[in-house]
Amino acid sequence: MTATTVAPPAPAPEKAKPLAPISWKAPIGYGVVGLISLVLFGLLPADGQDSTFVLSTSKDFFTIDPITVPAKVTAIVLSVIALVLAGISWQATRNRRKVGAWLPVVFGIVVVLAFLTWADAGKSSPLPLTGLLQGSLFLAIPLVFGSLAGLLCERSGIINVAIEGQLLAGAFLAAVVASITSSAYVGLVAAPIAGMIVSALLVLFSIRYVVNQIIVGVVLNVLVVGVTSYLFSTVLKADASTFNSPPKLPTIDIPLLSQIPIVGPVLFRQTILVYIMYVVVVLLQIFVFRSRWGLRLRAVGEHPKAADTVGIKVNRTRVRATLLGGAVAGLGGAFFTVAAGLAFGKEMTGGKGFIALAAMILGRWNPVGALAAALLFGFSDNLQVVLGIIGTPIPSQIMLMTPYVVTIFAVAGLVGRVRPPAAEGIPYVK
């Protein structure tokens, strides 16, 4: 779906050309960001200000005292580390070596810490690091489910732009069913069904009637917004106590694990939806890449004709993958209502489905990658909330823009080439 050269018909094999030209985009990118971090967060701010980070919550095994650091020095040290990482990347690029995924991850963490140190410098309120991470994971839930849904569909060759609609449908049905049965868990079971209905329409039109998949996706989004908003304005508003007052999913503390400082409250003091999310990510990572089902799924998405030749039912595989994807996205939709404990509202998903699409691409159609990208977006989302509380010189709108800008850079190939499944978006007609 993204980031391809239009020029050569196929990436030339390594043997044919002795050496491909070195791409300096990555090290230059790291260097520029590192320098900006050094100047903006380290050198420019005034001396003598401190930043405080709160690391633990009251329920932990042992409490870690809030850490107070001199802002300027810390930011300079962190920025220098970032520049060293840029140097490593530069060295690796020159020697045509590949660096692992650790480098961008560590680089990101270091720069973000430098930024946080700068943002909290001289502020009276400490920065709640645990709360920040906990909220990030929370906000990332719909993005993770959405990007996994997109991944399932696209690995099979169906472009799913209707993630937004599937999330919204899931949120709607979860709220209504949970309200009627007064059980958040029943709502959670209903949510995937709504997503599957949207997926069923998607496959009906894109496979049976061979309509352009992006068109169907875009239109289905409008349809779901229309239907849910309409029912919200009529049925749900008329009797909100019966139809639109979903109970909240309880937070489940996992014994022992939830009391580990920092990690515990972030990962193991969440609702069941988050635990389902862990399971889905792990299962998909294994099944997509290590199982017969996954191999067939990817074969259908990469080269349907070859898959068909060996007897794999191409369209049946696609239909199943898309329905499963819809179910996953619908489950993610439950986040907005039963997991967040909110009543359904018009267009309450607010473009999260599109960010999920971006997370999928940034994660290179890979479950763990999608998880990481979704967490990144969740983090920047929550960062803006937290910084809004402690006060920051950066306007919140600019903060909110960041994930989208990052995505554009990502699809433009600045963080490495992303390659979508080859047969994506192309209907298979025997």
Closest distance of CB 207 from another protein, Å: 9
Do the beta carbons of residue 64 and residue 53 sit within 8 Å?
no
Alpha carbon distance 373, 354 (integer Å): 13
Binders of another protein in range 334-353 (CB under 8 A): 346, 351
Alpha carbon distance 239, 331 (integer Å): 25
Pick the closer one to another protein by CB: 3 or 88. Answer: 3
Alpha carbon distance 323, 289 (integer Å): 19
Closest distance of CB 279 from another protein, Å: 29
Pick the closer one to another protein by CB: 11 or 48. Answer: 11
Q: How many residues does the chain have?
A: 430
Interacting residue with another protein among 68, 182, 212, 291 (CB under 8 A): 212
Interacting residue with another protein among 354, 385, 415, 416 (CB under 8 A): 354
What 3-state DSSP class applies to 52?
strand
If binding is defined by CB under 8 A, does position 238 make contact with another protein? yes
Pick the closer one to another protein by CB: 1 or 121. Answer: 1
Alpha carbon distance 224, 217 (integer Å): 11
Do the beta carbons of residue 153 and residue 321 sit within 8 Å?
yes
Alpha carbon distance 80, 219 (integer Å): 49
If binding is defined by CB under 8 A, does position 398 make contact with another protein? yes
Q: How many helices and strands (H and E) does the chain possess?
A: 17, 5
Pick the closer one to another protein by CB: 137 or 358. Answer: 358
How many other C-beta atoms can be found within 10 angstroms of the C-beta atom of residue 16? 6
If binding is defined by CB under 8 A, does position 229 make contact with another protein? yes
Window contacting another protein (CB under 8 A); options: 64-72, 101-109, 207-215, 316-324? 207-215
If binding is defined by CB under 8 A, does position 5 make contact with another protein? yes
Interacting residue with another protein among 22, 84, 222, 389 (CB under 8 A): 222
Per-residue burial over 396-419, b if 16 or more Cβ lie within 10 Å, else e, is eeebeebbeebbeebbebbbeebe
Interacting residue with another protein among 219, 263, 368, 415 (CB under 8 A): 219
Give burial (CB, 10 Å; 0-12/13-18/19+) of 344.
Answer: buried
Per-residue burial over 307-323, b if 16 or more Cβ lie within 10 Å, else e, is bbeeebebbebbbbbbb
Closest distance of CB 67 from another protein, Å: 33
- List the x/- string, 36-65, binding to another protein by CB under 8 A: ------------------------------
Window contacting another protein (CB under 8 A); options: 131-139, 250-258, 284-292, 398-406? 398-406
Pick the closer one to another protein by CB: 88 or 227. Answer: 227
Do the beta carbons of residue 198 and residue 216 sit within 8 Å?
no
Pick the closer one to another protein by CB: 234 or 241. Answer: 234
If binding is defined by CB under 8 A, does position 261 make contact with another protein? no
What 3-state DSSP class applies to 121?
coil
Closest distance of CB 362 from another protein, Å: 10
Interacting residue with another protein among 290, 305, 313, 419 (CB under 8 A): 419
Alpha carbon distance 173, 193 (integer Å): 8
Do the beta carbons of residue 109 and residue 37 sit within 8 Å?
no
User: E strands of 193-296, at which residues?
Assistant: 251-253, 269-271
Cα 247 to Cα 186, 192, 250, 331: the distances in Å are 10, 18, 9, 16
If binding is defined by CB under 8 A, does position 329 make contact with another protein? no
Interacting residue with another protein among 75, 324, 357, 375 (CB under 8 A): 357
If binding is defined by CB under 8 A, does position 73 make contact with another protein? no
- List the x/- string, 154-183, binding to another protein by CB under 8 A: -------x----------------------
If binding is defined by CB under 8 A, does position 3 make contact with another protein? yes
Residues that bind another protein (CB under 8 A): 1-11, 161, 201, 205, 208-212, 214-216, 218-220, 222-223, 225-227, 229-235, 238, 346, 351, 354-355, 357-358, 361, 395, 397-398, 400-401, 404-405, 407-408, 411-413, 419-420, 422-427, 429-430
